[in-house]
Chain A
Amino acid sequence: MLTYALRRVLSTLPVMAIVALFVFSLLYIAPGDPAVVIAGDQASPADVERIRANLGLDQPFLVQFGSWVWRLLHFDLGTSIFTNLPVSALIAQRIEPTLSLMMVTLVLTIIIAVPLGVIAAWKAGTWIDRIIMAFAVFGFSVPVFVVGYILAYVFALKFDWLPVQGYTPLAQGFWPWLQNLILPSVALGCVYIALIARITRAAMLEVLQQDYIRTARAKGLGQGGILFIHALKNAAVPIVTVVGIGIALLIGGAVVTESVFAIPGLGRLTIDAILRRDYPVIQGIVLLFSFVYVLVNLLIDVTYTLVDPRIRY
């Protein structure tokens, strides 16, 4: 297993290199010029050219790419064109809010979605099942920002229970930290709760029809034991897969959520960087996200062996 994990981690390097080349090429040919944005409306073309030269943007593609790769090999993600701060520092500033948002959303999702899916499967065809699935359809259909606005209106403006926006670092206390994350996590979590509840239901329905479940029932095992010990464990592989994919998707969802709730995370950093054509920042974030995707896939594969001993690598 360890060899397998190591091999997988090493295999991420060429993947990330290809991603890096792709992203770099894409940005190179994309319209937009950071020097124009920096120079402002008063600038002459000569001013813009001088800024481009200072930033190295006037260099040929291969020179720019080569110098970027060389820096990467020295663990240097470069410097933001706009803020003049190291990209690694910018990412470090923003990673905690995004990780916190993802973590709370994930916990919330698993706590709510898995039991809902199990109950829906158990009560398949009844009104309970229909209500849960109706909720799932709602969760899928309503955009994150709409849920976000509704939550903010009700829980922040009407009742004044929770803040509308912002982020408090965990170092300043658990409750202040959580307080800022409840509304965004619920907004972001809706779609994942819906997704995982549906997948759990489908997986459970299949398992509940198996012979060993009938045997367990015949032996007089209680409903809770059947559902959560025998059935859920055997239905876990697709659920784990979707939860894993969900983690990766959360990164995308965080972009909108962070904007709506003014959370200073990586999602907002990405959007700001794209709008300003801050190439080093975009490249750094894409590399980070690629790494996260690969890592999550690895974790999913490893988790398979834990939930299903038949799987071996």
Chain B
Amino acid sequence: MDRRTVLKGLAGAGGLALTGIAAPAIAQGAAARTLRFVPQANLANFDPIWGTQYVVRNAAAMVWDTLYGIDDQFVPQRQMVESEQVSDDGLTWTFKLRPGLKFHDGEPVLAKDVVASLTRWSARDPMGLMLKALQNELTAVDDKTFKWVLKQPYPKMLFALGKGNAPCAFIMPERIAQTDPFKQMSEYVGSGPFKFVKGEWVPGAKAVFEKFTDYVPRQEKPVWLAGGKQVLVDRVEWVIMPDPATAAAALQNGEVDWWENPITDLVPVLKGNKNIGVDIGDPLGNVGSFRMNHLHAPFNNVKARQAILMAMSQEDYMRALVGDDNALWKPLPGFFTPDTPLYTEAGGDILKGKRDFAAAKKLLEEAGYKGEPITCVVAQDQPITKAFGDVTADLLKKLGMTVDFVATDWGTVGARRAQKTPPSQGGWHMFHTWHAGADCINPAAYTALRANGDKAWFGWPTSEPVEKEITDWFAAKSLDEEKAVAARINKAAIDDVVFAPTGFFLGYTAWRKNVSGVTKGPIPLFWGVSKTA
């Protein structure tokens, strides 16, 4: 090769490079039927019964359908079911599947698949466990009909089958649903509007969903998890982006189309871009939580817990999290999600008004607190818990408490909070978390509100009044009755301080304006979403 040939080659390569450089970073034409979505977290596994993370549930809702789906009024609507009948004594439920249901492997959806799926689900889900305890039999009557016979009535049956809280009652082929509910399945065949492309799955980086062309949507208008799930794109690619700044840049650059939950700090930049739409994503938001350990002093004394409620400022917590954006938070003198039917402030006065440090200190003294170190286990790798932890450390110090601030990661908090031993022996006094507002609309999925001691959620609160009222809620037959019970639950839970709510907060979602159909919902909803080049 002579010098001239080399130079020509280099010029050619340079020209090629320049051509490429001058072109837009990502070709848009071929990608118009592909929606690229940045989810809230990594899709690390894909068994929605075995693993109950929100991100798994969100992906699963694309692939697996449910018998019922809740709408924006929290009413379960028929989804895979054509009709249902309940016997006069409320003990026998008979369901008939709608025609045209097909799994992604081409097999029809049969009643035996439903029975196996509900059996697996009911081994893991709190409402499923209740149903299982009441169950006489769950059987397939014929290919399209199944019945559930109970020992006593369960008025919340349809809500249980249609709820969007993890784990949802997703319907799978029998052979897959027969997997031990405590072992992970490895086949991802559903009958929902999208097929999961396992061959393209790179856990931690990418998950791909293709339109299931044989899906027969319902005819009703789609509302949240109910109605006709019309798919308007060929393919949805989930692109996992651990760095929010990169996600923001990729959205601005058109490399992705929709970012589920941009962090508050970056929202002004996105709002300033004329090609990007920004709005509240999930109207049900989140309930912030300051969880105390009811097993050990001082928080085994209700007065110490009440001292926290008396002194804490929800505004401090919320400002630490969302800054000055007042659209993103509300005070929450209670436990249920604001703007939902059961929301109540009954008994919540202690969380309102001016914060009373003097009275709080007095309560602490009456609780026998004498300056022992309080072990705050704080996950620093989660922006929400980090913000809450910083505010709490300051609050406890102002109350004259000695703080043993354990800054660690979520994996460690997850394991440590399960320890019942005293804080000096590896246990804990308090940690922070938050609950999706969708889980807090009623007691059905509100595990954190349970106060049944050893069986309760971390912190193991015991409160007979709370438990009694929750049982009454499950038996309630009308919304009015439910509301009355909810008010009593709220008051009892505040009186006994099951946990301390740190406020209600919302988050944004952001999308390129060539994408239409992005709607508010408790999970990202991909049906009805379309995209132009």
Cross-interface CB contact of A165 among B47, B183, B246, B411, cutoff 8 Å? B246
Residues on the B chain within 8 Å of A209, using CB: none
Chain A binder among B15-23, B146-154, B320-328, B338-346: B15-23
Which of B229-275 touch A at CB < 8 Å? 239-243, 245-247, 249-250, 252-253, 255
- Contact status of A165 and B53, CB under 8 A, knowing A160-B24, A264-B202: no
Chain B binder among A81-89, A131-139, A197-205, A291-299: A81-89
Residues on the B chain within 8 Å of A157, using CB: 249, 252-253
CB distance from B522 to the nearest CB of A (A): 16
CA distance A166 to B243 in the complex (A): 12
- Contact status of A54 and B249, CB under 8 A, knowing A36-B414, A36-B415, A161-B25: no
Which of A229-281 touch B at CB < 8 Å? 259-262, 264, 268-269, 271-272, 275-277
CB-based contact A51/B182 at 8 Å = yes
CB-based contact A164/B414 at 8 Å = no
CB-based contact A38/B50 at 8 Å = yes
CB-based contact B255/A164 at 8 Å = yes
Kindly state whether residue A19 has any CB partner on chain B within 8 Å: no
- Contact status of A163 and B246, CB under 8 A, knowing A33-B418, A37-B411, A45-B418: no
Q: Beta-carbon contacts of A153-172 to B below 8 Å, as 1s and 0s? A: 10011001111111000000
Residues on the A chain within 8 Å of B167, using CB: 42
CA distance A193 to B182 in the complex (A): 51
- Contact status of A40 and B52, CB under 8 A, knowing A157-B253, A164-B246, A259-B243: yes
Minimal Cβ-Cβ distance residue in A for B426: A31
Residues on the A chain within 8 Å of B16, using CB: 175
CA distance A264 to B208 in the complex (A): 15
Kindly state whether residue A214 has any CB partner on chain B within 8 Å: no
Kindly state whether residue B124 has any CB partner on chain A within 8 Å: yes
CB-based contact B20/A54 at 8 Å = no
CB-based contact B242/A268 at 8 Å = yes
Residues on the B chain within 8 Å of A84, using CB: 45, 47, 184, 186
Residues on the A chain within 8 Å of B99, using CB: none
Residues on the B chain within 8 Å of A269, using CB: 204
Minimal Cβ-Cβ distance residue in A for B57: A40
Kindly state whether residue B206 has any CB partner on chain A within 8 Å: yes
CB-based contact A44/B245 at 8 Å = no
Kindly state whether residue B159 has any CB partner on chain A within 8 Å: no
CA distance A40 to B239 in the complex (A): 23
CB distance from B433 to the nearest CB of A (A): 8
CB-based contact B124/A47 at 8 Å = yes
CB distance from B291 to the nearest CB of A (A): 11
CB-based contact B25/A162 at 8 Å = yes
Kindly state whether residue B298 has any CB partner on chain A within 8 Å: no
* Chain B residues touching A, majority SS: loop
Minimal Cβ-Cβ distance residue in A for B420: A45
Q: Which of the four size classes fits the interface of chain B? A: 35 or more
Q: Which of the four size classes fits the interface of chain A? A: 35 or more
Kindly state whether residue B51 has any CB partner on chain A within 8 Å: yes
CB-based contact A82/B44 at 8 Å = yes
Residues on the A chain within 8 Å of B455, using CB: 44
Kindly state whether residue A48 has any CB partner on chain B within 8 Å: yes
Kindly state whether residue A147 has any CB partner on chain B within 8 Å: no
Kindly state whether residue B203 has any CB partner on chain A within 8 Å: yes
CB-based contact A163/B414 at 8 Å = no
Residues on the B chain within 8 Å of A130, using CB: none
Q: Beta-carbon contacts of A74-106 to B below 8 Å, as 1s and 0s? A: 000000101111000010011000000000000
Residues on the B chain within 8 Å of A262, using CB: 205, 239-243, 246-247, 250
Cross-interface CB contact of B203 among A48, A50, A82, A152, cutoff 8 Å? A82
CA distance A5 to B288 in the complex (A): 60
Cross-interface CB contact of A152 among B44, B45, B240, B246, cutoff 8 Å? B246
Q: Beta-carbon contacts of B21-60 to A below 8 Å, as 1s and 0s? A: 1101110000000000000001011010011110000000
Kindly state whether residue A211 has any CB partner on chain B within 8 Å: no
Residues on the A chain within 8 Å of B20, using CB: 175, 179
CB-based contact B42/A272 at 8 Å = yes
CB-based contact A163/B253 at 8 Å = yes
Residues on the A chain within 8 Å of B250, using CB: 164-166, 262
Minimal Cβ-Cβ distance residue in A for B51: A38
Cross-interface CB contact of B249 among A37, A93, A156, cutoff 8 Å? A156
- Contact status of A275 and B45, CB under 8 A, knowing A262-B241, A268-B204: no
Residues on the B chain within 8 Å of A179, using CB: 20, 25
CA distance A32 to B379 in the complex (A): 12
- Contact status of A43 and B52, CB under 8 A, knowing A161-B21, A264-B202, A268-B204: yes
In this complex, the member of B52, B126, B239 whose beta carbon has the largest number of chain A beta carbons within 10 angstroms is B52
CA distance A36 to B242 in the complex (A): 22
CB distance from A1 to the nearest CB of B (A): 32
CB distance from A47 to the nearest CB of B (A): 7
Kindly state whether residue B514 has any CB partner on chain A within 8 Å: no
Residues on the A chain within 8 Å of B85, using CB: none
CB-based contact A90/B411 at 8 Å = no
CB-based contact B408/A31 at 8 Å = yes
Residues on the A chain within 8 Å of B124, using CB: 42-43, 47
CB-based contact A32/B246 at 8 Å = no
CB-based contact A260/B246 at 8 Å = yes
Cross-interface CB contact of A32 among B125, B252, B411, cutoff 8 Å? B411
Cross-interface CB contact of B44 among A94, A162, A264, A272, cutoff 8 Å? A272
CB distance from A164 to the nearest CB of B (A): 4
CB-based contact B25/A163 at 8 Å = yes
Q: Beta-carbon contacts of B355-388 to A below 8 Å, as 1s and 0s? A: 0000000000000000000000000010000000
Residues on the A chain within 8 Å of B433, using CB: 41
Kindly state whether residue A149 has any CB partner on chain B within 8 Å: yes
CA distance A50 to B365 in the complex (A): 42
CB-based contact A82/B45 at 8 Å = yes
Which of B444-459 touch A at CB < 8 Å? 445, 447-448, 455, 457
CB-based contact A83/B203 at 8 Å = yes
Residues on the B chain within 8 Å of A287, using CB: none
CA distance A271 to B282 in the complex (A): 29
Kindly state whether residue B180 has any CB partner on chain A within 8 Å: yes
A-B contact pairs, 24 of them (CB 8 A): A32-B412, A36-B414, A39-B52, A40-B52, A40-B53, A42-B52, A42-B125, A42-B167, A42-B447, A83-B203, A84-B45, A84-B184, A149-B245, A156-B249, A160-B25, A161-B22, A164-B25, A164-B246, A164-B253, A262-B242, A262-B243, A268-B205, A275-B381, A275-B410
Ordered nearest first, which 10 A-B pairs have the shortest CB separation?
Answer: A40-B52, A264-B205, A33-B415, A32-B411, A163-B25, A50-B182, A164-B249, A83-B203, A82-B44, A31-B412
Given contacts A38-B50, A45-B418, A277-B411, 20 further A-B contacts (CB under 8 A): A31-B408, A32-B411, A32-B412, A36-B414, A41-B433, A48-B418, A51-B182, A54-B182, A82-B44, A85-B203, A164-B25, A164-B253, A175-B17, A179-B20, A261-B246, A262-B246, A272-B42, A272-B44, A275-B409, A275-B410
